[in-house]
Amino acid sequence: MKHVLWVLFLIPTLLIAQQANVNLDYNPHKNRENLTPFSAPLNSPDVDDQGMVTFQLKAPNAKEVSLAPGAITTSLDKESKPIPFIRGENDIWELKIGPLLPDIYAYHFIVDGIQITDPSNTYAAFTAMPPYSQLVVHGKEPSYYDAKNVPHGVVARHIYHSETTKGERELYVYIPPEYNEEKSYPVLYLLGGSGELPSNWIYDGRVNLIMDNLLAENKAVPMLIVVVNNQVIHRNHPQHTELTFDVFEEEIRNHVIPLIDESYSTIKSPRGRAISGLSMGGRHSMFVGFRSLDLFANFGILSAGDTEPEESLKDFLNDPDISSKVDYLFVGQGTKEVNSFFNVRVQHLHEALNYHNIKHEYYVGGNGGHDWSTWRHLLYYRFLPNLWKSN
């Protein structure tokens, strides 16, 4: 792999935030200069140091404006119902909520029944679903998922042709700051959920910054992280469940792993590979990973499982040599997922693994539900630090 030397010219600036996009601020929604974001009609959202958030929307012809249910309402322990705005002067609708715990929250507005992003917020994300806005509630200092003054790895985007999907595809590779072609590195293959693109693990999951910080804290093993596009069948295809696992296994066997092993200095054995994913990606990690023990010996199942693991995973569960084939198996979910539909699948998997005496780590933590707050937390506090811990 060729290396490029970057020369940075540092320009003195004031302490700037409030969506100025000058630095990778940990508090971009704090109002420091009383300026609106460039080309935006208002300053929204506005976050103070106590975690109180003010949303604003100028909508003269609107009859009803609300905050859509999602990560924010989950954090506030509100019911999954829209939270209404109040119309104020100059046709500006406003909503104040909080305090919210420091984190990054996805959100939408609902205007007369139509779901939209916040038109004044420059922090937005795009996925395989319609885009959404991001709210950053800051703490007193940068968090574990923020950019800090530490050595940083590189994120490379690869475009490749797939005979499996008959088209051009992409994947992202996190390369640790100490990368040396004379060494061989373990590889984590990381997957998204039903509505995720590979870039979401970078921009929403912030996996590269999380890994930078873990390495700087000496809490994790240097590794390559390959963020794979596991969207291989239209998500609304009526046979998605039946078709997706076989197609994805073909994609990762025939295209993804060969590309990575040819492009980087990797450990080319199951013990040097891990597969992990959130939600649908967790199910891919189960149904593809567990039947591919010739490829993977390490697994991270995030907010996923199966309602009938005894039947769907019987070959894996009944394998008498499983303990010698699996190095590390992690099953985790968020604290506020335990009362949701997703908990049923996770619990069934956890119970099936216990019943068959398959060693694994089960963990519930963080303050989130079925959202990025949970998946960032699981990576930083459990999965990445324990991955290849014994190697």
Say which DSSP state 91 is in: G
Residue with tokens 């295809």: 237
- CB-based burial of residue 159 (10 Å sphere; 0-12 exposed, 13-18 middle, 19+ buried)? exposed
User: Do 72 and 158 share a domain, yes or no?
Assistant: no
Rounded-to-integer distance, Cα 151 and Cα 148, Å: 9
Determine the average pLDDT of the residues in 291-301: 97
Number of other residues whose CB lies within 10 A of the CB of residue 180: 10
**10, part of any domain:** no
Q: For residue 165, is pLDDT > 70?
A: yes
CB 65 within 8 A of CB 59: yes
Q: From residue 290, how far is each of 233, 247, 287, 315 by CA, in Å?
A: 20, 15, 6, 9
Phi then psi dihedrals of residue 331, to 5 deg? -125, 120
Say which DSSP state 266 is in: B
pLDDT at residue number 126: 80
Determine the average pLDDT of the residues in 88-114: 96
Give CA 364 to chain center in angstroms.
17
Please state the pTM of the whole predicted model.
0.93
Identify the band that residue 16 occupies on the pLDDT scale cut at 50, 70 and 90.
low
Q: For residue 7, is pLDDT > 70?
A: no
**192, part of any domain:** yes
Identify the band that residue 18 occupies on the pLDDT scale cut at 50, 70 and 90.
confident
- CB-based burial of residue 7 (10 Å sphere; 0-12 exposed, 13-18 middle, 19+ buried)? exposed
Helix (H, G, I), strand (E, B) or coil at 10: coil
Secondary structure (H, E, C), 123-179? CEECCCCCCEEEEEECCCCCCCCCCCCCCCCEEEEEEEEECCCCEEEEEEEEECCCC
Domain that holds residue 242: 154-386
Listed residues 86, 108, 137: the one ending a domain: 137
**354, part of any domain:** yes
Residues 6+ apart with CB under 8 A from 22: 13, 16
Which helix (H) or strand (E) covers residue 107, if one does? strand 103-107
Listed residues 137, 165, 195: the one ending a domain: 137
Residue 323 carries which side chain, given as an amino acid letter? S
Q: For residue 279, is pLDDT > 70?
A: yes
Determine the average pLDDT of the residues in 148-177: 98
User: Do 169 and 89 share a domain, yes or no?
Assistant: no
User: Do 237 and 90 share a domain, yes or no?
Assistant: no
Identify the band that residue 77 occupies on the pLDDT scale cut at 50, 70 and 90.
confident
Determine the average pLDDT of the residues in 208-235: 96
Q: For residue 323, is pLDDT > 60?
A: yes
User: Do 200 and 125 share a domain, yes or no?
Assistant: no
pLDDT at residue number 15: 56
CB 195 within 8 A of CB 235: yes
Determine the average pLDDT of the residues in 324-341: 94
Q: For residue 6, is pLDDT > 60?
A: no
Identify the band that residue 3 occupies on the pLDDT scale cut at 50, 70 and 90.
very low
Determine the average pLDDT of the residues in 133-154: 97
Residues 6+ apart with CB under 8 A from 368: 71, 74, 75, 103, 334, 335, 336, 337, 374, 377
Determine the average pLDDT of the residues in 331-342: 91
Rounded-to-integer distance, Cα 362 and Cα 383, Å: 10
Domain count, the chain: 2
User: Do 102 and 56 share a domain, yes or no?
Assistant: yes
Determine the average pLDDT of the residues in 19-39: 89
User: Do 103 and 158 share a domain, yes or no?
Assistant: no
pLDDT at residue number 125: 85
Determine the average pLDDT of the residues in 299-322: 94
Rounded-to-integer distance, Cα 192 and Cα 142, Å: 25
User: Do 216 and 363 share a domain, yes or no?
Assistant: yes
Q: For residue 9, is pLDDT > 60?
A: no
Q: For residue 12, is pLDDT > 70?
A: no
CATH number of the structural domain spanning residue 209: 3.40.50.1820
Per-chain mean pLDDT for the chain: 92
Identify the band that residue 390 occupies on the pLDDT scale cut at 50, 70 and 90.
low
Q: For residue 122, is pLDDT > 80?
A: yes
Q: For residue 90, is pLDDT > 60?
A: yes
Identify the band that residue 17 occupies on the pLDDT scale cut at 50, 70 and 90.
low
Identify the band that residue 204 occupies on the pLDDT scale cut at 50, 70 and 90.
very high
pLDDT at residue number 14: 53
Rounded-to-integer distance, Cα 347 and Cα 301, Å: 12
CATH number of the structural domain spanning residue 62: 2.60.40.10
Task: Find out whether the peptide bond into 45 is cis, omega within 30 degrees of 0.
Answer: yes
